[in-house]
Structure 1
């Protein structure tokens, strides 16, 4: 209980870094192994392998979306319950989260595998790409149960006040993936299947790690058999808060499909391979911000539940400043080293040229994304799911999809690249409007 109690008493600056640095380290390493995966695929399989992984990416986004529905939702509710000193309820949420993770992963795997080829073809897999995309996706789907357990319970590990152990989970998984990828691709000559197999095996180790932790004496919350039976009210509370990141991921999947089609039409397979690389670089640059928001979540959730609104505002302000610094540094690195970054993944001059140009445009609004991520995450952390959903959906559905459908017809390939930064800017402005009103309400509640 002492770990969670510190959330309401320790100095905010020290607490934010104490929770964020392990999360940032874990998330950056996690993104780094995705980058390394792409480097190995790009050199070991070629641009057709990069295109195949990009085509399969919407399915992976959907899988992660359901994982976030449970993991993010459960961790936010756990933080709130611990802030209210309701440990027994927090343990029930943990048990229900595990059951939901298993049920969702099995259902999705069976459903998608039954229609895998038609799904991949509808996502844009042409005849040459389809076998590669099929081999990769099959293995990812079969092993997705490990991702659900590892990701979902790891979020709760952080929420109960143990960010270092949560970081260790990610580091173990990422480190193993980085080791296995070149082994399977270059030594065992398993091609793109080797990359998928490395991912699944590393996620399997991560799942076992978190399960052992919650059965051990080191955890505040314990996995108990009686808490595995689903409780209607708990499931509703998890889904209510987890719905925002879930819908954001589903919308992101739709956006990715439309984007891939647009890139195929206006830039061909090289443009599709390029966006696969760009997305991984973007994730690497954004992971410090996501790690910061993950570290912030239990601090805000606990103190909001305990009605310590002054601490909530201070933590939020500090996180916004830090996120803006991180995102601006990422922007500068991309603008200065665009060609060198693309050359890490492939040595084809045409791919490098298209990718470097696209990356500069696609990520030109990176400096404002840090603020938007932290702002949207605030509403999630305090249980105001409606606001979080509106902010998430405003970027993906209201802004980005129409822009992807309209701009390429006017500006060609440049129009496709421009859709994302325009949506980022408008979404950040909307987040600022919502957040300023919310902070005003906190001031009144504090009085």
Structure 2
């Protein structure tokens, strides 16, 4: 697809059609990509004799994998949004500069995480809540993932830019390739080769490596890409790097905050519920991801549309895209909430059959996910500010739940209510964060409406002058 066609489509085509065109592939891709972790946990939770402890070990590694994902977001989302805005300004060379610098940042960050992660793996996992029983499983799972960080960041980080280049279906194929290979390799490595939990990690890294190669091919050899990855653009430029990191900082900090929250939650869970409570949270998080991943896909689909039209000063289309995205997210999350509350036992049974773990997980899930229908407001608002290049507001919205509300809730509520306090922390933090983000984004929509009115007045005046 040429750059000109991309501009024409994003600036003129129906918003509804564009959202379907960009979001459906992103939703499918994100749901499939979510299977990386969910399928891993399904197989791991059903390993004979050790499934309960093994899935708890995976739960311990969650803050670590969140940190790795955070760096992928820092570079990937920052590069993606920067490319979209550059396209809106019709600056192809600038877009290629962001792509090249994004790749270099991924290479540097991956090397640092791989080396330091493996050196301090045991100390990190112990700090994050591993016990003598769960540490061996956590180590077996996380060490291959550390070495495979570059595969993760290539597959996840650069794939965002494929969508900004106007090819959401190819971005979807990237995630489908990786997840499909992972699903095939998981039972072979875990059970066939008898590698257990470590086999799940090997399967994930191999699948991410192949997906990463696919993305690299797209930006170097494919005729479908309108921008190319060139060695000349890989030399780091301070203004370009700053642009990428400033936009990517909000999702990065949100994900890092998620990691800190997971550590605090794991310690609260261990204190008030033991190893099985950590396993319960791992299952709850997996079930939640099944329903929330479509929202991430919808937001990713809206991002290039919002970014392009904001760069082109088409403020009415920016507002319309946001509102449509919010409505779709709210509908999806409301339906998801009904399913979770009505059939919790079925959702839990996919991950483990242990009666004690099932009872603890069902009780926790009903409370922890109580406010699910509301969270679309915060998620869409954060994506909006990332797309338009306003990192400070994106950061405030992103961190409101994790840092301002959820961390204090995890620290104080369990002291008063025990394990129930841990589960109640989720809906309380969600509701407060939605109130904050709703207030901020409402003011932004009013501001955009005024800008649009001013633009229309200027166009009318110009037309009158020409006629005169």
The structure 2 residue matched to 1:324, chosen from 330, 346, 350, is 330
Aligned to 1:96: 101
Query: Hey, what's the Cα distance between the residues in 1 that align with 2:219 and 2:350?
Result: 40
The structure 2 residue matched to 1:430, chosen from 427, 436, 440, is 436
Describe the SS at the equivalent of 2:132: coil
Contact 2:368-2:423 within 8 A present in 1 as well: yes
The structure 2 residue matched to 1:299, chosen from 299, 302, 305, is 305
Matched, 1:191 2:190: no
Contact 2:381-2:397 within 8 A present in 1 as well: no
The structure 2 residue matched to 1:238, chosen from 235, 244, 250, is 244
Larger deviation: 362-371 or 2-11? 2-11
Aligned to 1:175: 180
The structure 2 residue matched to 1:29, chosen from 29, 32, 47, is 32
Contact 1:21-1:292 within 8 A present in 2 as well: yes
Aligned to 2:13: 10
Aligned to 2:114: 109
Matched, 1:403 2:409: yes
The higher radius of gyration belongs to 2
Query: Hey, what's the Cα distance between the residues in 1 that align with 2:119 and 2:80?
Result: 32
| CA deviation after TM superposition for structure 1 residue 32, in Å | 2.9
Aligned to 1:82: 87
Aligned to 1:119: 124
Larger deviation: 295-304 or 371-380? 371-380
Aligned to 1:64: 69
The structure 2 residue matched to 1:42, chosen from 42, 45, 61, is 45
| CA deviation after TM superposition for structure 1 residue 340, in Å | 1.4
Query: Hey, what's the Cα distance between the residues in 1 that align with 2:20 and 2:250?
Result: 25
Query: Hey, what's the Cα distance between the residues in 2 that align with 1:284 and 1:278?
Result: 10
Aligned to 1:370: 376
Query: Hey, what's the Cα distance between the residues in 2 that align with 1:19 and 1:434?
Result: 26
Query: Hey, what's the Cα distance between the residues in 2 that align with 1:310 and 1:242?
Result: 25
| CA deviation after TM superposition for structure 1 residue 129, in Å | 1.1
Describe the SS at the equivalent of 2:284: helix
Query: Hey, what's the Cα distance between the residues in 2 that align with 1:334 and 1:327?
Result: 10
Aligned to 2:421: 415
Query: Hey, what's the Cα distance between the residues in 1 that align with 2:435 and 2:277?
Result: 30
Structure 1 length normalisation: TM-score?
Answer: 0.99
Describe the SS at the equivalent of 1:383: coil
The structure 1 residue matched to 2:264, chosen from 235, 258, 273, is 258
| CA deviation after TM superposition for structure 1 residue 166, in Å | 0.1
Larger deviation: 248-257 or 119-128? 119-128
Query: Hey, what's the Cα distance between the residues in 2 that align with 1:239 and 1:89?
Result: 16
Contact 1:65-1:245 within 8 A present in 2 as well: yes
Describe the SS at the equivalent of 1:236: helix
Q: Give the CA RMSD over aligned residues.
A: 0.8
Query: Hey, what's the Cα distance between the residues in 1 that align with 2:64 and 2:122?
Result: 12
| CA deviation after TM superposition for structure 1 residue 162, in Å | 0.5
Matched, 1:19 2:22: yes
Give the unaligned 5+ runs of structure 2.
Answer: 454-468
Describe the SS at the equivalent of 2:274: helix
Query: Hey, what's the Cα distance between the residues in 2 that align with 1:3 and 1:162?
Result: 9
Query: Hey, what's the Cα distance between the residues in 2 that align with 1:375 and 1:389?
Result: 11
Question: How do residues 341-380 of structure 1 correspond to structure 2 at under 5 angstroms?
Answer: 341-380=347-386
Change (3 A) 1:305 1:64: same
Contact 2:29-2:172 within 8 A present in 1 as well: yes
Aligned positions, number: 447
Describe the SS at the equivalent of 2:226: coil
Query: Hey, what's the Cα distance between the residues in 2 that align with 1:344 and 1:311?
Result: 42
Structure 2 length normalisation: TM-score?
Answer: 0.94
Give the unaligned 5+ runs of structure 1.
Answer: none
Describe the SS at the equivalent of 2:359: helix
Provide runs of 4+ in structure 1 moved above 2 Å: none
Aligned to 2:164: 159
